[in-house]
Amino acid sequence: MTSSIEEPASVRPVPSAVRQARRGNSLGRLVARRILLGFGLLIAASMLIFGGVEALPGDFASTYLGQDATPQAIANIREELGLDRPMAERYLSWLGGIAQGDFGTSWSNRNSVGDQIWKRLGNSLLLAGVAALIAIPLALALGMVAVLYRNRIPDRVISLLSLAAISLPEFFIGYLLIQFFTVQLGFASFPATVYDGMGLGERLATIVLPVMTLVIVVLAHMMRMTRSAIMNVMSSPYVETAELKGLSALRIIAEHAAPNAVAPVVTVIALNLAALVVGVVVVEVVFVYPGIGQYMVDAVTVRDMPVVQGCGLIFAALYIVLNMVADIVSILANPRLRHPR
């Protein structure tokens, strides 16, 4: 007599379609959480930026009117700008305007802050983009060379130079480049400043020194992290198996180590791009470059708070978005999440 006892549900094989659906739902939830976390961080950053700017010493009305301003004149300016309202009310009004694409009006020149930010943001993104196009492939190549010749002269030279570059601040590197290329060599193709109204070719020629500064700083970080990521993969069992098969070191790195180090390398690149975008502030000040960083620094000197708050929020948004992209890429590239058992 055959048994009619039904097989327990816990031991039944799960269909592949069900497993794929569960895997997709799990990845979707993780990505959704990262996006929500990024949105929450952006709101928190807006609070910190608004509160931090409010806590800065000095007052725009006093700075704008000068030392001879009467208390009544200062009070009138504060009332006109809405500075007499509670801080929470002004924050909600500012945040509501930004949600509609309105960053407010500059206190110093009455221009639209949003228009000036978008105009200068293109200059900053051009500077950061050109630096990234140079630094990323160069960092990957140098990282692979350092792994290929690990613990030998090329590896030690690359590590020493990268450590020296990391130890020097951006402004110091920028001033060294200006002194060497502009003052000492007198290259006309390496001006220390750039102005609006130039064509693309002239603009690319004038940003050589700022781009070199950013590349030197970012390249060192990305190269060292790339080397570390590939070295971690090189200790895996399948790499040892490839070595036992007699494959060359270059082939092992190119075909086995590098593809499996994509996730950490992409994360490193995304994080350094975030640092690159934020790091243009110092470089723009050094080279008097008309970007969003220079715009923010000029606004700080005259206490133009709408400009400072708008620029700060743009930098925070770029940094958070790039970090969020790095998190999402690491999730999607994780084989344990894509192919769970």
DSSP secondary structure letters along 309-322: HHHHHHHHHHHHHH
Residue 112: φ, ψ to 5° = -70, 125
- What 3-state class would DSSP assign to 2? coil
278: how many CB neighbours lie within 10 A of its CB? 16
Rounding to the nearest 10 degrees, give the CA dihedral for residues 303, 306, 307, 313.
120
Q: What is the mean pLDDT of residues 301-315?
A: 86
Residue 86 has pLDDT above 50, yes or no: yes
User: pTM for the full model?
Assistant: 0.75
- Is 44:314 a contact under the CB 8 Å cutoff? no
- Is 314:121 a contact under the CB 8 Å cutoff? yes
Residue 269 has pLDDT above 50, yes or no: yes
Residue type, 124: S
CATH number of this structure's domain 113-338, picked from the four choices 1.10.3720.10, 1.10.620.20, 3.30.1370.30, 3.40.1190.20: 1.10.3720.10
Q: Exposure pattern of 127-137 as b/e (b: 16+ CB <10 Å)?
A: bbebbbebbbe
pLDDT at 125: 86
Among the listed residues 187, 37, 41, 194, the one whose alpha carbon sits nearest the alpha carbon of residue 130: 194
Residue 179 has pLDDT above 60, yes or no: yes
Residue with more model confidence, 64 or 276: 276
User: What does the DSSP 8-state code read for residue 235?
Assistant: T
Residue 1 has pLDDT above 50, yes or no: no
Give dist(CA 42, CA 6) in Å, integer.
54
